Amino acid sequence: MNPYRKSPGGLDPSDVDEPDGGPDGIDRRDFLKAAGFTALAASAVGCERIPTPKAAPFLIAPEELVPGRALRYASVCSGCEAGCGALVKAVDGRPIKMEGLPEHPLSRGGLCAMGQATLLGLYDSHRLQAPTIGGETADWAAVDAAVKPRLAGGKVRILTRSLVSPTARALAEGLVGSLADARLVVYDPLSCSAIPEAHERTHGARVLPRYRFDKARVVVGFGADFLGTWISPVEHAAGYSVGRRLDENAVWHAQFESTASLTGSNADERRRIAPGEVGLKLSQLAGKIAARAGATFDAPAGGDDLDPIVERLWNARGKSLVVCGDRDVEAQVLVNFINQHLGNYGETLDVASPSFQKQGDDRALEELRRELDAGEVDLLVVAGVNPVYDRALPVEKAGYVVCVAQRADETTALAHLICAESNEFESWADAEPAAGIVGIRQPAMNPRGRTRSLIEILSAWRGEAKTSLELVKERWKDAFPWAEAVERGFAEVKRDPVAVKEFDGSGVKPIAAGPEGFALVGYAKVGLGDGRHAYNPWLQELPDPVSKATWDNYACLSVATAARLGVTEGDVVRVEAGGAAVELPAMVQPGQHDDVVAVAIGYGQRSTERFADVGPQWFERNPTLGPDGLIGADVGPLLPPGLLVAADAKVTKTGRRRDLASTQTHHNIAVPEHLAPPGGAVRPCVLETTLQQYREDPASGVEKAHLPDPDLFPPDHPYEGRKWAMAIDLTRCTGCSACVVACQAENNVPVVGRDEVQRRREMHWMRIDRYYRGEGDEVTTSHQPMLCQHCENAPCESVCPVLATVHTEEGLNAQAYNRCVGTRYCANNCPYKVRRFNWFDYPHDDPVENLVLNPNVTVRSRGVMEKCTFCVQRIQEETIQAKKEGKLPADGVIKTACQQSCPTQAIVFGDGNDPESAVSKALADPRRYYALEELNVRPSVGYLTLVRDRAPDGGEGSSHG
Amino acid sequence: MKSILTYALSAGIALVVLSMAVNADRYRLPGDQRGYEPDQPIAFSHRLHAGELGVDCQYCHSGAERSRHAGIPAVSTCLNCHKFIKDTWGAVQAEDKAAAEEKRAPKPVESTEIAKLLKGEPIVWNQVHKLPDFAYFDHRPHVAAGVACQKCHGPVETMEKVRQVESLSMGWCVNCHRDVNEEGVAGKPVHASTDCTTCHY
């Protein structure tokens, strides 16, 4: 039969009469007719009312609360002990977003990925809701009755992490002081204890200096990931970005490291060293600096490769900074020696007003370990740390263990009594991250369970139970105007400078090279840090800025080592060290040292069991959890206690495979040789230049080979009013991924789980692309935030068959979810690959977790496309507010979520039609280029070239050919 | 076979036409909620308050100027007046009259509806005007531009029980946005955008 129907005019009678349908003889047309009438009939008679929701207004309305309007509370971030200033945005009494506090003297408006993700911890339905004694739910009176007698008699040890809250510190010390035999032991899983210890030796005071990256013009780092995970990354990044403004104060940064860290990827010069070489390199550097300073130092021979660095450091005396992440006190003493002879104390290192962000004392911890081993401790109170997972202490040897915790973990499993702690968003607190800068943290909601905060618990045990508000207010009411400080989020108080002695270099001695051979290095991953937020799905799904992998830890091997071992990415390898072994998938990490296998710490925690059902539950799904039912594997047993390097490690191939869930599978910016068009050896995504070239010609890195062709059509979209535009400065962007989590929180981006990431179905609207430039392990790493470019000639718009994606009169590329039918043509046609398709209705089954959803952004359903909107909800909100007064919002008032949290202020957003706006000025920079400009899609997002202060690399880096 | 089907289809069409004719007042497209008039937990009369007494809409729905949501007043707002006004004037007069006849002091009167305000519990109302979750309506720009409440909500000041008058469909919204760009609102020129992102994000 003819497969096509003819036009009615030429209808063949035989064709009409002959049924072509099924056994009943109903042909397709009749079936469609019948179906159509049935549907019409159903719609005509079946119009039942959609169930309308109930609305319950307040009984007594709080004065400041208008339903639907967001309130912002200045507060302090509790993601780590860095004490960054935060703004908590709350709608209808529930916090929905954490943002940076622009006025804060340390964080200067930035907030890292981890800090922003703490919000999800508030709505964690697995949090402990009430205290338990011996596994039985108890009330607080019973807890106090059980603990107080034990405090009174016997040997009491209180173990906490760094108490950045002066109130908590004073209460803990007061409690300890009031007891017969008690001691407070502080430890940090990411220990910096060697630095204060070294200062005790060289400066006579146990202080952690405040590192002033904002004042440093030459920075040399030895394994300290100060932009990613070390001490106070947001503060450091904000300071570091001061030197990235390409003015006369440009910073030059050299990084020595064995792993491929975020900080290393931003360095102007990066050198791979073995972990055992740190001491040797520092000694050689110290020797060369001492020689110039006229000091005596018996330096080991060699190290001539350091001369250019020494030259730069010496020329920047008083404006340089040497930092080291090593846990060896001797190495830190050498660092002090170097900084002293460079005249950096009092300039880039502040010991008079030191940092309180890391207070851990590893010697005290060792002493406690000895006491526990001897069975001497009667009562061990563990607050806010997980020493069992960290392998810090044999907790089970204590007579009675009391845990103060928000969630069940390895340590609470051993505890006799668990005090359920309030979430940080539920209680008052304070923080003094650096001497004289006091942050006040306000609660954003009432406790969900029967919980108490740490300071409330401590004050109850001291016999004067008070609320957290009373405790904090009492502590500070005489020091500064309380109400004003609460409103601002911080206050500055006068502190007596710490008395330091004259520099004592007597104990400084060179360090010989450490043991050679293959070593295991444990490192902290950006986002997960020491692993305390392992419960947090946003952070688990955040791609590592360098490796781009999500959801797992893995054994990183350099390209050469992987080739030597015959390992490819995804091969499961057995890593052995210290008498233990762990099996992990391999990750080939260019830029890592050849004698190192690097594994992220903080994985394999019990709290990750919860991710068994994360992501869509469909029949072909693969589990997110690893073979042992957890996310990743714990590398702790392989590392010596308190250290992150294990010598004599062994890596063997098991023959099995476990593919990594990576969000980027193409790594090198160079086009494979057989695919490269003439002159197109390097993809013009991230354009780079050197500082020298930039100073000669500010437009030096900008692509000139492919200027867009003139348009065939006249410009018929004049954009008379505002036209939104964004500028991203790649020189300032560190790749820290704070914007990724900011976008996820703001725009209700779902978590999809490991399997879906492997299927390239991650939903992040904003991603950080990472590119390697160079061959093998000698690579330069660059980062590029990539989001919808809101192209004027948007390729997505012309292919949408239903006009679900169209341009607005203000230059936004709009996506109407309710119009989208899910053809995915737009994603196919997008050259930037920023569109995300909802393959599923991602689970929103947890009613508590759903409270984090932004009510101003639609939760997308299955089958629709979505992408970055330039935070149109924020544009609308500010515009509506301003229009009430008959004007438009001023420049800078509308901030996208990614821009708001950026620690280095690399992102500028605004009206591109206003020549006075910050974004217009940024886009007028000669460094400005557009990604894939030759396509002539005319993006609204301009990038500013990445300028590094290094010798030109022969043209390979900056432009084609 | 074909003839049976033809009869069946004809009967179907007849049934549909008949049902549409019979239910003409009820017939509407899916999602069209015009005429929705649910019972509310309190027999609150907009006719009395907004119409007869002339209370300004925004006295109770004060969010309209400040927020996306116009809001339903908190019980404390009701009590600004109803702390003192516990029943209708008629009921008070009747009690006074009865008390005078029985030669006793008048007792306080309290209507059963107003008594519901004093139970110390929030009143759970039935929402009448409801937009889908993918549409974002904001009262602020409409109030600021001077659009009358009745334009969307109908003559509420004449209603004993609030009823949805307009369809609140997208076409209805867009028509108005187009019209006011031509005609202005209350004599003032306005710019009502018809971009998708005005309502959908």
Based on the fold, state whether residues A732 and A843 are members of the same structural domain: yes
The shortest C-alpha distance from A309 to chain B (Å) reads 52
Higher-scoring residue by pLDDT: A300, A457: A457
Quick one: pLDDT at residue B113?
Answer: 87
Quick one: pLDDT at residue A5?
Answer: 44
pLDDT tens by residue, A723-748: 999 999 999 999 999 999 999 999 99
Mutate to test the interface with A, among B23, B65, B196 (most CBs of A within 10 A): B196
Question: Quick check: B67 and A883 CB within 8 A?
Answer: no
pLDDT tens by residue, A89-139: 999 889 999 999 999 999 999 999 999 999 999 999 999 999 999 889 999
Domain membership flag for residue A375: yes
pLDDT for residue A39 is more than 70 = no
Phi/psi at A401 (5° precision): -115, 125
Q: State the CATH number of the domain containing residue A605.
A: 2.40.40.20
Domain membership flag for residue A542: no
| A contact residues 300-319, partner B, Cβ 8 Å cutoff | none
Q: Of A323, A355, A387, which closes a domain?
A: A355
The DSSP bridge partners found for residue B86 are none
Residue of B nearest to A58 (CA): B74
* B19 → closest Cβ in A30, A45, A819: A45
State the count of interchain CB pairs (< 8 A) between A and B: 165
Please report, as a single letter, which amino acid is at residue A233: P
What strands lie across the sheet with A437-441, from one edge to the other? A208-211, A349-355, A429-434, A437-441, A490-492
Quick one: pLDDT at residue A231?
Answer: 92
pLDDT tens by residue, A138-147: 999 999 999 9
The shortest C-alpha distance from A29 to chain B (Å) reads 12
Instruction: Show the tokens assigned to A482.
Output: 């309380």
CB atoms within 10 A of CB A560: 15
Domain membership flag for residue A956: no
Residue of A nearest to B12 (CA): A37
Proportion of chain A in helix, strand, coil states, percent, rounded to 5: 25, 20, 50
Residue of A nearest to B140 (CA): A880
Report which of A482, A496, A455, A447 is spatially closest to residue A163, judged by C-alpha positions.
Answer: A455
Quick one: pLDDT at residue A26?
Answer: 65
Mutate to test the interface with B, among A20, A31, A60 (most CBs of B within 10 A): A60
Based on the fold, state whether residues A799 and A704 are members of the same structural domain: yes
| A793 shares contact with chain B (CB less than 8 Å) | no
Query: Which contiguous run of DSSP H or E holds residue A114?
Result: helix A113-122
Residue span of the structural domain in which A431 resides: 132-191+360-492
Domain membership flag for residue A861: yes
pLDDT for residue A749 is more than 70 = yes
Domain membership flag for residue A57: no
Q: State the CATH number of the domain containing residue A205.
A: 3.40.228.10
pLDDT for residue A709 is more than 60 = yes
Residue span of the structural domain in which B107 resides: 34-198
| B contact residues 103-162, partner A, Cβ 8 Å cutoff | 120-128, 130, 132-136, 138, 140-141, 144
Instruction: Show the tokens assigned to A871.
Output: 């935070």
Question: Quick check: B69 and A41 CB within 8 A?
Answer: no
pLDDT for residue A652 is more than 90 = yes
Higher-scoring residue by pLDDT: A922, A678: A922
Phi/psi at A338 (5° precision): -65, -50
**Rg of chain A's alpha carbons, rounded to an integer?**
30
Based on the fold, state whether residues A557 and A410 are members of the same structural domain: no
pLDDT for residue A777 is more than 90 = no
Average pLDDT over residues A387-393: 89
Give A-chain residues touching B123 at CB under 8 angstroms: 56-57
| A37 shares contact with chain B (CB less than 8 Å) | yes
Q: State the CATH number of the domain containing residue A842.
A: 3.30.70.20
Based on the fold, state whether residues A621 and A485 are members of the same structural domain: no
Question: How many structural domains compose chain B?
Answer: 1
Q: How far apart are CA B73 and CA A631, in angstroms?
A: 48
* A873 → closest Cβ in B15, B123, B201: B201
Through-space distance between the first and last CA atoms of chain B, rounded to whole angstroms: 52
| A720 shares contact with chain B (CB less than 8 Å) | no
Based on the fold, state whether residues A30 and A89 are members of the same structural domain: no
| B13 shares contact with chain A (CB less than 8 Å) | yes
Question: Which of A596-605, A625-634, A668-677, B100-109 shows the lowest per-residue confidence on average (mean pLDDT)?
Answer: A668-677
Give B188's DSSP letter. B
ipTM attached to this prediction: 0.85
Question: Quick check: A41 and B15 CB within 8 A?
Answer: yes
Question: Quick check: A44 and B132 CB within 8 A?
Answer: no
pLDDT for residue A704 is more than 90 = no
Domain membership flag for residue B28: no
Based on the fold, state whether residues A382 and A340 are members of the same structural domain: no
Quick one: pLDDT at residue A51?
Answer: 62
pLDDT for residue A301 is more than 80 = yes
pLDDT tens by residue, A400-448: 999 999 999 999 999 999 999 999 999 999 999 999 999 999 998 889 8
Domain membership flag for residue A599: yes
Through-space distance between the first and last CA atoms of chain A, rounded to whole angstroms: 60
Output the CA–CA distances (angstroms, integers) from residue A397 to A161, A366, A374, A413, in the order listed. Answer: 20, 15, 8, 14
Domain membership flag for residue B14: no
Domain membership flag for residue A460: yes
Based on the fold, state whether residues A260 and A178 are members of the same structural domain: no
Domain membership flag for residue B145: yes
**Helix (H/G/I), strand (E/B), else coil: A570:** coil
Domain membership flag for residue A56: no
Question: How many structural domains compose chain A?
Answer: 6
Instruction: Show the tokens assigned to B200.
Output: 């959908």
Average pLDDT over residues B107-136: 88
In this prediction, residue A708 has a pLDDT band, given cuts at 50, 70 and 90, of: low
pLDDT tens by residue, A486-507: 999 999 999 998 888 888 888 8
Q: How far apart are CA A267 and CA A952, in angstroms?
A: 15
The shortest C-alpha distance from A856 to chain B (Å) reads 8
Residues 6+ apart with CB under 8 A from B140: A880, A881, A884, B64, B65, B66, B67, B68
Q: State the CATH number of the domain containing residue A82.
A: 2.20.25.90
Residues 6+ apart with CB under 8 A from A744: A538, A764, A765
The shortest C-alpha distance from B98 to chain A (Å) reads 35
Quick one: pLDDT at residue A526?
Answer: 92
pLDDT tens by residue, A885-929: 888 999 999 999 999 999 999 999 999 999 999 999 999 999 999
Give A-chain residues touching B141 at CB under 8 angstroms: 880, 883-884
Average pLDDT over residues A137-163: 90
Pairing between β-strand A941-944 and β-strand A778-786 as defined by DSSP bridges: unpaired
Phi/psi at A275 (5° precision): -60, -30
Give B-chain residues touching A33 at CB under 8 angstroms: 9
* A44 → closest Cβ in B16, B68, B195: B16
Quick one: pLDDT at residue A763?
Answer: 93
* B72 → closest Cβ in A45, A53, A55: A55
Arithmetic mean of pLDDT over chain A: 88
Based on the fold, state whether residues A11 and A87 are members of the same structural domain: no
Based on the fold, state whether residues A694 and A635 are members of the same structural domain: no
Q: State the CATH number of the domain containing residue A392.
A: 3.40.50.740
Residue with tokens 């909802």: A838
Based on the fold, state whether residues A118 and A148 are members of the same structural domain: no
Based on the fold, state whether residues A345 and A364 are members of the same structural domain: no
Question: Quick check: A59 and B120 CB within 8 A?
Answer: yes
Question: Quick check: B195 and A24 CB within 8 A?
Answer: no
Based on the fold, state whether residues A792 and A706 are members of the same structural domain: yes
**Helix (H/G/I), strand (E/B), else coil: B162:** coil
| A747 shares contact with chain B (CB less than 8 Å) | no
Average pLDDT over residues A560-564: 93
Q: How far apart are CA A146 and CA A476, in angstroms?
A: 31
